[in-house]
């Protein structure tokens, strides 16, 4: 089937390449001419495992190409996926839908009668209905469906090719048939396919993100209680995770969530609920957001205490800039928020990250950056582990101890082997864990 993908950012470029890889003919559209030129040369605009090879393969096959020409895109196909951003508004918590509206307004008058617009952007409930009313004045023969994405950065290609579920919100059997044809390989492979109304489809995405964000903030709230009580949040998380009703996923205590989805999505969801007159039903999301933000402040406060009460004149090394590993995305990165806060209090801060330094440097030019871990930690009075890249677990703490001023580590992701670091002479601290650690282990009991 022929289709266009409008917007070649994180969601759009992955969707376009994956749809081409399963056999569709895809035309990607973006207003950024430089990005389109790079994509046409099979150079992705983001770091995402597996994407570069996938892009090279599908561009070379001829099934995937790119353009900046809206007229060409409108004429190319009858199915158009909208993958543009929906950032938070500058003056409120609500989602900014100007880019979605611009696509519909620009595309609709140029489309063939009977065309289908399929939204993948994360939008407030009621957006499809509003766009349908908007379309009636421009292109009454055009239909809109909503098909939210559920991509995890670092696993986006996998999540598109082998999704846990497909959700489509449609208003006609024809739209359902089109989407079933597009996703036929996934459906035949047994992927659950939920066909519902557009409002429910819109809500599925924000409800899922809100629930996951709540789990993260819950365990981080427990970490704060554990700090006060002298308890161990990691053992607590392991124990409650054994309950099949709770599960282990998203119960990893640490610095909290960031990125382009969870923070803005829970805020936009709460704002939309207020507009619908049911704000009290999701009022807890404000606390979820506050707990997440407080984790950053708690990390800065603990680092300040560990370094002696003041950052002024001290060297601080930060391991990690991306908001999560296997990504170069620094949008609302907890790691960079902490690094910037420490720098603002007078420290000299050097940041390392395997993939995100260009984006981090553009967002925080006042910080220092390096691709060399040893260089980042040179003469450091404190090292902060803020993004859980696997390679940080491979660092030899004995070797790193030779370049720092003081062997002090704050593991705000709690993924380093504390025993190994401490045996190498490091003082290692983590949120919600006793210091020094005397922790219980599954199937064992320690008594004094």
State pTM to two decimals.
Answer: 0.91
Q: Do domains 2-196 and 212-430 have the same CATH topology?
A: yes
Packed helices 198-229 and 262-275: angle between N→C axes, nearest 10 degrees: 120
Distance CA 307, CA 320 (A): 19
State residue 436's pLDDT score: 64
Distance CA 206, CA 277 (A): 17
What are the beta bridge partners of residue 87? none
State residue 442's pLDDT score: 52
Asked if 445 is an active-site residue, the reply is no
What are the beta bridge partners of residue 383? 317, 409
Whether the Cβ atoms of residue 120 and residue 86 lie closer than 8 Å to each other: no
Distance CA 48, CA 54 (A): 11
- Give the rounded distance of the alpha carbon of 423 from its chain centre: 35
Query: Rounded to the nearest 10 degrees, how much is the dihedral formed by the CA atoms of 102, 108, 111, 114?
Result: 140
Whether the Cβ atoms of residue 170 and residue 198 lie closer than 8 Å to each other: yes
Cα 295–Cα 298–Cα 299 angle in degrees, nearest 5: 85
Fold assignment, 212-430: Rossmann fold (3.40.50)
Candidates 2.40.50.200, 3.20.20.10, 1.10.10.10, 3.40.50.720; CATH matching 2-196: 3.40.50.720
Q: Choosing from 18, 83, 261, 377, which is the catalytic residue?
A: 261
Domain boundaries, the chain: 2-196, 212-430
State residue 448's pLDDT score: 36
List the pLDDT tens digit at each of the 448 positions of the chain.
999 999 999 999 999 999 999 999 999 999 999 999 999 999 999 999 999 999 999 999 999 999 999 999 999 999 999 999 999 999 999 999 999 999 999 999 999 999 999 999 999 999 999 999 998 888 888 999 999 999 999 999 999 999 999 999 999 999 999 999 999 999 999 999 999 999 999 999 999 999 999 999 999 999 999 999 999 999 999 999 999 999 999 999 999 999 989 999 999 999 999 999 999 999 999 999 999 999 999 999 999 999 999 999 999 999 999 999 999 999 999 999 999 999 999 999 999 999 999 999 999 999 999 999 999 999 999 999 999 999 999 999 999 999 999 999 999 999 999 999 999 999 999 999 887 644 444 554 443 3
SS3 28: strand
């Amino acid at each position: 089937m022929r289709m266009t993908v409008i917007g070649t950012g994180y969601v759009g470029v992955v969707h376009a390449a994956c749809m081409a890889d399963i056999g569709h003919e895809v035309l990607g559209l973006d207003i950024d001419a430089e990005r389109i030129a790079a994509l046409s040369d099979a150079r992705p605009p983001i770091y995402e495992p597996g994407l570069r090879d996938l892009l090279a393969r599908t561009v070379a096959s001829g099934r995937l190409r790119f353009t900046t020409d809206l007229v060409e895109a409108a004429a190319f196909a009858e199915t158009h996926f909208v993958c543009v951003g929906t950032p938070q508004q500058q003056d409120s918590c609500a989602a900014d839908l100007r880019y979605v509206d611009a696509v519909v307004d620009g595309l609709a008058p140029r489309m063939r009668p009977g065309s289908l617009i399929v939204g993948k952007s994360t939008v407030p409930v009621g957006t499809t209905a509003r766009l349908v009313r908007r379309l009636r004045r421009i292109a009454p023969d055009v239909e809109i469906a909503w098909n939210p994405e559920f991509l995890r950065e670092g696993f986006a290609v996998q999540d598109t090719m082998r999704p846990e579920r497909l959700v489509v919100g449609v208003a006609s059997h024809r739209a359902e048939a089109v989407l079933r044809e597009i996703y036929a390989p996934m459906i035949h492979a047994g992927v659950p396919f939920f066909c519902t109304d557009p409002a429910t489809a819109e809500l599925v995405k924000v409800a899922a993100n809100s629930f996951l964000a709540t789990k993260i903030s819950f365990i981080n709230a427990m970490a704060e209680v554990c700090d006060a009580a002298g308890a161990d949040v990691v053992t607590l998380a392991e124990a409650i995770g054994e309950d099949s009703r709770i599960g282990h996923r998203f119960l990893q205590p640490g610095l909290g969530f960031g990125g382009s989805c969870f923070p803005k999505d829970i805020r936009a969801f709460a704002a939309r609920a207020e507009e619908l007159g049911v704000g009290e039903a999701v009022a807890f999301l404000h606390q979820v957001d506050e707990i997440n933000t407080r984790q950053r402040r708690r990390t800065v406060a603990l680092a300040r205490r560990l370094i002696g009460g003041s950052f002024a004149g001290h060297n601080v090394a930060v391991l990690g800039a991306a908001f999560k590993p296997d990504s170069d995305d620094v949008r609302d990165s907890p790691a960079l928020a902490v690094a910037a806060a420490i720098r603002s209090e007078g420290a000299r801060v050097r940041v390392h990250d395997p993939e995100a330094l260009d984006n981090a440097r553009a967002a925080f030019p006042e910080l220092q950056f390096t691709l060399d871990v040893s260089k980042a930690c040179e003469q450091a009075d404190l090292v902060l582990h803020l993004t859980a890249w696997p390679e940080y677990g491979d660092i030899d703490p004995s070797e790193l101890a030779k370049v720092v001023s003081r062997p002090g580590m704050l593991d705000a992701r709690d993924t380093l082997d504390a025993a190994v670091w401490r045996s190498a002479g490091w003082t290692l601290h983590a949120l919600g864990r006793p210091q020094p650690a005397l922790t219980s282990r599954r199937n064992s009991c320690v008594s004094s």
